[in-house]
Chains A and B, each alone.
Chain A
């Protein structure tokens, strides 16, 4: 562990950096509290009388609450599905040191979403699944699964092989070894994979736009209703964006203490 003294500049530099990164988010949050006149005012006003009108419109006159619920269903289920597939897959890939399945899964993630969209739309339509949760959840699992797989691989590679072998000798089958011995050791990796999968699914626009129905529209798709052909309801759009940004932020802040690694210390010589 290096213990270099921090430069006296580091705190101001980090503060300025953080403000730069946060400025669009601040802008978004502030705009969501402005009246229609103030939101488009130029030069922009920093001092204004905040109003809840945009939020009232969002939750009162549109189905945004239901759309948010849809987003939770889709992001939650696709995260779960992605992890359920990715965890055993990553375990097998890491144990057998077989790289190609991981690479194949990455291709699915690298290919542009539009490539899948048309065949899926036709496929799900013929199956009568278009517009339902299932189609959307399956589609989003294509985003979450490779992501979770690649996040978990380094954690699994760092797990001592002897632990797995010891489990074999202790009488376990592979599934038991994975659940009882390996999962507790890669817990931080699973937390990271969960957050990333959830956030990516939550924010993914394209599949939801094409595959969701009226009842299953996600928040991110619904927010685009405020962008009209001639006019855009900036205040309501910013309010929607603020609501959409909240769950990932809350999720990340609440679980970040779990991210502390080092659980495997003491397994083999420390």
Chain B
């Protein structure tokens, strides 16, 4: 178990900057998720912590020890790869023991740890098989077992669920979470799936273009996104945006509708920007209260809820309505926004 510190790291391939000046700390025992679209540098960042990737500036520390230039084999980390990376010619038992053998762990201790990990992951009956005889989900469990037996300072996961089918993904997700609760170890987890990030993380680092957009707990990112990108990325479906002129606490939409917004700063100057509202913060308007006129575009009944895509002037909004309300395409809907849930963003995409 250990803390991890990333300070001012930079990485570039000749002219292309992949990571620019990144800093953050990961607490002892924390489950940290790096999330972002492909090419945002999240895997590169993880591999830098692992010691599989060099970087040009700054430093990475595991605990109090700066590990710049320390090869991966001396970092006491364990990694679970997307493609499992099991050794095909070894049995599952040998796969799990290999890292310990390389570190000259006594045989009795290796056996004890392998048995304990196999018990946790329920793979005891697979120990004498070869990886090719295992299903994808079983292989991923073995890959986790291989990490567990090492009792590393930090666990690293590089998109470990991407090759599993949807149902299995939810299962293994729960298993990793349970594992974290049980071991209390520091874990860093990379994914492009915001649902994985939200459900598993203690804290999330949202990355975009090699830079940190925001770091926070899932709740913080959901409730107080600092940028339009984070607001749109977190949540399912993501936040809706509509161009507006924002003046004080009131936004005037292109349609002329006036909507109250909850501002971060108390600016009074009029700004051309956007308002943001989450699908779950939109409801059918009280006939006598305030509301905006919209036109129903697409209806997706999900059972518990109905997702409705509506048009508000030029803007398109996704709205989550109760399951019993199923409008028809072309219907007109008068909608209102939950008070205090409407946010404002400037033209650069920063929350104001």
The binding surface of chain A is classed by DSSP as loop
B83 CB → nearest A CB, Å: 4
* Distance in angstroms between the alpha carbons of A184 and B103 in the assembled complex: 21
B88 CB → nearest A CB, Å: 4
A180 proximity list for chain B (CB < 8 A) = 98
B73 proximity list for chain A (CB < 8 A) = 168-173
Query: Is there contact, CB below 8 Å, between A170 and B99?
Result: yes
Choice from B83, B131, B136 contacting A162 with Cβ under 8 Å: B83
* Distance in angstroms between the alpha carbons of A267 and B132 in the assembled complex: 7
Query: Is there contact, CB below 8 Å, between A269 and B102?
Result: no
Interface residue stretch chosen among B57-65, B74-82, B118-126: B74-82
Q: A266 on the interface (CB 8 Å rule)?
A: yes
* Distance in angstroms between the alpha carbons of A168 and B132 in the assembled complex: 22
A95 CB → nearest B CB, Å: 12
How many inter-chain contacts with C-beta < 8 Å in the A-B complex?
A: 83
When C-beta atoms are compared, the residue in chain B nearest to A172 turns out to be B102
Choice from B51, B86, B89, B150 contacting A168 with Cβ under 8 Å: B51
Give the one of A163, A168, A185, A266 with max B CB within 10 A: A266
Query: Is there contact, CB below 8 Å, between B88 and A266?
Result: yes
Complex interface bits, B115-153 against A, C-beta within 8 A gives 1, otherwise 0: 000000000000000111110100100000010001000
B99 proximity list for chain A (CB < 8 A) = 169-171
With A169-B99, A170-B98, A266-B132 given, is the CB distance from A162 to B88 under 8 Å? no
Choice from B81, B103, B139 contacting A166 with Cβ under 8 Å: B81
Q: A268 on the interface (CB 8 Å rule)?
A: yes
Q: For chain A residues 151-206, which have a beta carbon within 8 Å of chain B? A: 160, 162-163, 165-166, 168-173, 176, 180-181, 184-185
Query: Is there contact, CB below 8 Å, between B163 and A269?
Result: yes
A171 proximity list for chain B (CB < 8 A) = 73-74, 99, 102-103
Choice from B71, B77, B84, B98 contacting A269 with Cβ under 8 Å: B84
When C-beta atoms are compared, the residue in chain A nearest to B131 turns out to be A266
B74 proximity list for chain A (CB < 8 A) = 171
Query: Is there contact, CB below 8 Å, between A166 and B85?
Result: yes
Q: B188 on the interface (CB 8 Å rule)?
A: no
Q: B52 on the interface (CB 8 Å rule)?
A: yes
When C-beta atoms are compared, the residue in chain A nearest to B152 turns out to be A169
* Distance in angstroms between the alpha carbons of A173 and B163 in the assembled complex: 29
Query: Is there contact, CB below 8 Å, between A267 and B52?
Result: no
Query: Is there contact, CB below 8 Å, between B89 and A263?
Result: yes
B50 proximity list for chain A (CB < 8 A) = 165, 169
Q: A270 on the interface (CB 8 Å rule)?
A: yes
Choice from B77, B82, B86 contacting A169 with Cβ under 8 Å: B77
When C-beta atoms are compared, the residue in chain B nearest to A165 turns out to be B52
Q: A100 on the interface (CB 8 Å rule)?
A: no
When C-beta atoms are compared, the residue in chain B nearest to A265 turns out to be B132
Query: Is there contact, CB below 8 Å, between A264 and B77?
Result: no
When C-beta atoms are compared, the residue in chain B nearest to A171 turns out to be B102
B133 proximity list for chain A (CB < 8 A) = 266
When C-beta atoms are compared, the residue in chain A nearest to B76 turns out to be A171
With A169-B50, A172-B73 given, is the CB distance from A267 to B130 under 8 Å? no
A268 proximity list for chain B (CB < 8 A) = 83-85
A168 proximity list for chain B (CB < 8 A) = 51-52, 71-73
Give the one of A168, A176, A264 with max B CB within 10 A: A168
B24 proximity list for chain A (CB < 8 A) = none
* Distance in angstroms between the alpha carbons of A172 and B99 in the assembled complex: 8
A264 proximity list for chain B (CB < 8 A) = 88
Query: Is there contact, CB below 8 Å, between B84 and A185?
Result: no
Q: For chain B residues 257-311, which have a beta carbon within 8 Å of chain A? A: none
* Distance in angstroms between the alpha carbons of A147 and B136 in the assembled complex: 38
A160 CB → nearest B CB, Å: 6
Query: Is there contact, CB below 8 Å, between A163 and B102?
Result: no
With A162-B83, A171-B99 given, is the CB distance from A265 to B88 under 8 Å? yes
* Distance in angstroms between the alpha carbons of A263 and B131 in the assembled complex: 11
A185 proximity list for chain B (CB < 8 A) = 88-89
When C-beta atoms are compared, the residue in chain A nearest to B89 turns out to be A184
* Distance in angstroms between the alpha carbons of A263 and B98 in the assembled complex: 19
Query: Is there contact, CB below 8 Å, between A165 and B132?
Result: no
A169 proximity list for chain B (CB < 8 A) = 50-52, 72-73, 75, 77-79, 99
Query: Is there contact, CB below 8 Å, between A270 and B52?
Result: no
B161 CB → nearest A CB, Å: 12
Q: For chain A residues 220-270, which have a beta carbon within 8 Å of chain B? A: 263-270
Given A263-B89, A265-B132, A270-B132, 6 additional A-B pairs, CB 8 A: A160-B83, A162-B82, A165-B50, A169-B50, A173-B73, A180-B98
**Between-chain CB contacts (< 8 Å), 17 pairs:** A162-B82, A165-B50, A166-B81, A168-B52, A168-B73, A169-B51, A169-B72, A169-B99, A172-B102, A184-B89, A264-B88, A265-B88, A266-B134, A267-B84, A267-B85, A267-B87, A267-B88
Q: Which residue numbers of B lie inside 8 Å of A, CB to CB?
A: 50-52, 71-75, 77-79, 81-89, 98-99, 102-103, 130-134, 136, 139, 146, 150, 163
Q: What 4 A-B pairs have minimum CB-CB distances, sorted nearest first?
A: A266-B132, A268-B83, A170-B99, A162-B85
